[in-house]
Chain A
Amino acid sequence: MLILKPKKDFEVSVEAEITPDLAEKSEEEIKNFEVWYGKYKVKLGELFEIKKEGDEKKLILDGDFSRVKWIGRGMTEGEIVVKGNVGAHCGAFMSGGKIVVEGNADDWLGAEMSGGEIVVKGNARNLVGCAYYGDLEGMKGGKILIEGNAGNYIGEKMVGGEIEIKGNAGDFIGTEMKNGTIIVHGDCGFVGGDMKGGTIKIGGKFDLLPSFKKAEDGWIGDVNVGGEGKIVKI
């Protein structure tokens, strides 16, 4: 297990592609692991206090990580626990393992992830489980659970897996989604634009596009693209 604590308030963003694999390395290697501090390449040890306790594949990020981006990028196994808030792109491209964020998450949480699990105890911002601009597929598998609220663009171009939001969400939920499930327990805005498949379940109020037809248990669309996606009330 590896415990990281920021040494200071960061003036600029840190880009740190750290995964639980790091916990297996020697303390020396961990300290020298290269990250970006704004435009400067620096060593992990310059920005964070490092404490290693055994070889378990687990990272504890203790403190404010809201300006630290790309945490858990592409991780395949192990666990990351963020005690506070976390920066953008957390869990992007991950394929396995678990990330727990005890505070809030920034944009691009779990973007294009294909497996594993992310739990956010607070709120998440925009672009959860989305495809990066230009890419054809967003989230492909795994699960994202947000216990608070989420922003706009949730599960854009999603092709698999599940996103569950306990609170409210913004606009553009499941745009161009092809498969998988999005659950919003609270209210949200426009839903399912250009969706081809998959299911969106909503507990509260939402804005229905005119391009969905009524079905027995909800609505089917988006008819503009010959879609057979489902919107269901829960």
Chain B
Amino acid sequence: MLWIKNGIVIDPKNGIEGEKMDIFVKEGKIVEESEVKKEECKVIDASNKLVVAGGVEMHSHIAGSKINTGRSMRPEEMRVVRNVAGKFRAVVGRVLLTAPGIGYEYAKMGYTTAVEAASPPIGSPHTHEELDAIPILDKAALPVFGNWHFVFKFVSEKDQEKLQAFIAWAIERTKGYGVKIVNPGGVEKWMYGSNVRTLDDEVPIYGVTPREIITEVVKANEALNLPHCVHIHCNNLGVPGNYETTIETMKLVSGMKNENRPVLHVTHVQFNAYAGSSWRDVSSGAEEIAKYVNKADNITIDMGQPIFGHATAMTGDAPFQFTLHKLIGARWSNKDTEIEGGAGIVPIVYLPKNPVHALQWAIGLELGLLIDSDKVVISTDWPNGGPFTEYPYIMAMLMSKRMREKELERVSPYVQKASSLPAIDTEKTLYEVIKMSRSLPAKILGMENKGHLGVGADADIAIYNINPNEVDPSAEYDLVNKAFRKPAYTIKDGEIVVKDGELVAETWGRTFWVDATKKVSMEAIEADLDEYFQNYYTVERINFGVDERWVKKPARLEVS
């Protein structure tokens, strides 16, 4: 039992904005004062400290074949030793980390939940092996659907019943959490040497278009009423002029509504927010996107903020990765995941003086600043945009115009004409950045017990050495930036795992997965499953996927 005393609480979900309060924890949950015996509580003095829910990472590449291939092809990343084995496990990695390091580093920043944003279904056993090697955090994985032949087939047949049954089957088999779509149709088309360029380009053989895939999959996701909305990496990622495709994609769900969460989450939008016609005249499309998102009542995004320095681009968007490799000449690895899609990996360095990199950096911040704080989540799309360990930098930048002005001095002047960042006066409040890193991602993921400090919530808590009623983040940005890097405490399921910025305990979190199989009739797709597994997969159907007993601490969420 814990008694967190006299902290200054910010808890956006429950409307608490810098109130001095006590918080009580029992059996890993936040409880009423009357539930605990105070004399048996361990007391944490949180006077003059900020108390918030543990951070929720909704889009990061923490486990699976992509990150592992990235590790193997970047020995220079693996030469940085972060932790020598002793009380905690060995960790290496500069920006790409080994599995234990992912858990340690998130916890050391006050984050307690993280979602793997793109898991190739056939690779799901590998994804779960790696999730199981990540300590402390609660985890989940999103299997990718946007180029899966079953999806093409059922969309082309306009058979919602089969599509819903298939999604429920696939999420259960992969022990996944929700539906991810990456460049729908484009990865398949790339297997024929090209890519889709508009929402109406057809996928070879099946004849379906990105427009149809997205619309039908969102419909199925809503009919199943999955906790998380469809999570999309749009077509034309990394192509100048792509902001229009992004808005077109958002328009596909207009009129659809879900009471509890958005119906579409558009991810790492920075990479999909370029105006212009080439890299020579590229500029920001962030303002247009922000306008649309702010007006819509069913869409959220995350930033995909680049951080200057080393990064590794790794996405299920194989054709984009090839384009990037050709553009910058860096190493390239390609993955083909049978009839499910593909992926690619390319190392990259974001340089402040490079006009394109500086513009990407500016666009990420524009999105974070111009979009309402209940619609935009903080992310770097780790490791695509750079280290997640720089979230404190992003939070401080969003809260301080002065810090941005200082940073603008060191980046390419190209951003002055190609983006609106220098003219933006907005300064997000502490309350808003806490929302953007806690309650909002939890809401989008449909994780009711995450991202807040109300009674019944998981006791995932971060305590930082700043008093929100005294600090002025606009002026004291250095202080804020430092405080978020070094929590006084990180508490996971009621256990203190980090103290004064240092790890003190290694715990094991759960892996959430969603079971919607009771909502559908599996019979509808039996014959199709058998046929495709027999004809096209390298594995037998019976060997496909992950059994719950193989997962270290599974937490099944049944959808009824």
Residue numbers of A with Cβ under 8 A of B are 132-135
Contact = CB atoms under 8 A, between A and B. Distances in A.
A83 B536 CA distance: 64
B279 to A, nearest CB: 18
A133 B75 CA distance: 6
A1 to B, nearest CB: 33
B348 to A, nearest CB: 12
B77 interface: yes
Interface of B: 73-77, 79
- Count chain B CB atoms within 10 A of each CB in A132, A133, A134 and give the residue with the most: A134
Contacts of B73: 134
B146 to A, nearest CB: 31
The main secondary structure of chain B at its interface with chain A is helix
Contacts of B74: 134
A225 to B, nearest CB: 8
Nearest to A133: B75
B235 to A, nearest CB: 31
Contacts of A132: 75-76, 79
Contacts of A133: 75-76
A133 B73 CA distance: 9
A133 B72 CA distance: 11
Nearest to B73: A134
Ranked 10 nearest A-B pairs via Cβ: A134-B76, A134-B75, A133-B75, A135-B76, A134-B74, A132-B76, A133-B76, A134-B77, A132-B79, A132-B75
Given A132-B76, A134-B77, A135-B76, 9 more contacts: A132-B75, A132-B79, A133-B75, A133-B76, A134-B73, A134-B74, A134-B75, A134-B76, A134-B79
11 contacts: A132-B75, A132-B76, A132-B79, A133-B75, A133-B76, A134-B73, A134-B74, A134-B75, A134-B76, A134-B79, A135-B76
Contacts of B76: 132-135
Nearest to A132: B76
Nearest to B78: A134
Nearest to A131: B76
Nearest to B331: A134
A134 B72 CA distance: 10
Contacts of B75: 132-134
A134 B79 CA distance: 10
Contacts of A134: 73-77, 79
**Which of the listed residues A132, A133, A135 has the most CB atoms from chain B within 10 Å of its own CB?**
A133
A52 to B, nearest CB: 31
Contacts of B79: 132, 134
A133 B77 CA distance: 10
A232 B77 CA distance: 37
Nearest to B77: A134
Nearest to B330: A136
A118 B395 CA distance: 49
A177 to B, nearest CB: 15
A132 B75 CA distance: 9
A134 B71 CA distance: 11
Nearest to B74: A134
A135 B73 CA distance: 11
